[in-house]
Amino acid sequence: MQYPEPIARLIASYMNLPGIGQKTATRLAFYTIDMKDETVNDFAKSLLSVKRDLTYCSVCGNITEDDPCEICADTSRDRSVILVVEEPKDVMALEKMKEYQGLYHVLHGVLSPMEGTGPEDINIPSLIKRLENEEAGEVIIATNASTEGEATAMYISRLIKPAGIKVTRLAHGLSVGSDIEYADEITLSKAVEGRTEI
């Protein structure tokens, strides 16, 4: 005996999500059957809505309902600084800080020769074009501190420095509140390298 068709299809749909295997998908599908009609309707609607109502900002590549996005359209922001991140989630994280007043550029990935991701596959060409047209004096590169993130930062830096634009990278070091004892060696060596006078 197979699962009834509607459950089997829902299990298959849940299994399309990352980190969800057969067992979890089955559990979620049976849980869904017992959820309120309204909750499931809202769920289905919000799934369709993210595909229909969201788009990428034609300027910075961030995810948005309106093009250009809220940040690019905000004339009160400092247009001389562009902060480059890997993913839209990073923009949200940085905006939570409420201190940065410049603009963003979302790459949607990093350079990865292993996975065949070259500069044309991520938003690097649009960044270069943007720098040619806009009056940005500084580019802050905030890719993650992974091998690919570092390589992408180096690549972008070499590409735009000749144009006389200041290129900076977010500081790496110990997290605030963390113990030296538990820090990994790379973080520690970055922390020593980037030490400041007090």
Does 188 help bind a copy of itself (rule: CB under 8 A)?
A: no
| Interacting residues with a copy of itself between 92 and 131 (CB under 8 A) | 92, 95-96
Distance CA 86, CA 144 (A): 7
Determine which residue in the list 42, 67, 132, 134 makes contact with a copy of itself, applying CB under 8 A. 42
In order, the DSSP letters of 6-47 are HHHHHHHHHHTSTT--HHHHHHHHHHHHTS-HHHHHHHHHHH
Our CB check for a copy of itself shows the closer of 5 and 185 to be: 5
Does 35 help bind a copy of itself (rule: CB under 8 A)?
A: yes
**Among the residue ranges 63-71, 78-86, 148-156, 187-195, the one whose residues contact a copy of itself (CB under 8 A):** 63-71
Q: Are 53 and 59 in contact (CB under 8 A)?
A: no
- The helix (H) or strand (E) run that includes residue 64 is strand 63-64
Least CB distance to a copy of itself at residue 40 (A): 5
Least CB distance to a copy of itself at residue 54 (A): 5
Distance CA 125, CA 147 (A): 21
Q: Are 166 and 139 in contact (CB under 8 A)?
A: yes
**Among the residue ranges 22-30, 115-123, 134-142, 168-176, the one whose residues contact a copy of itself (CB under 8 A):** 22-30
Determine which residue in the list 59, 60, 61, 64 makes contact with a copy of itself, applying CB under 8 A. 64
Our CB check for a copy of itself shows the closer of 42 and 132 to be: 42
Q: Are 121 and 107 in contact (CB under 8 A)?
A: no
**Coil vs helix vs strand at 60:** coil
Q: Which residues pair with 106 in a beta bridge?
A: 85
Binding residues for a copy of itself (CB under 8 A): 1, 3-7, 9-10, 12-13, 16-19, 24, 26-33, 35, 37, 39-51, 53-54, 63-65, 70-71, 87-89, 91-92, 95-96
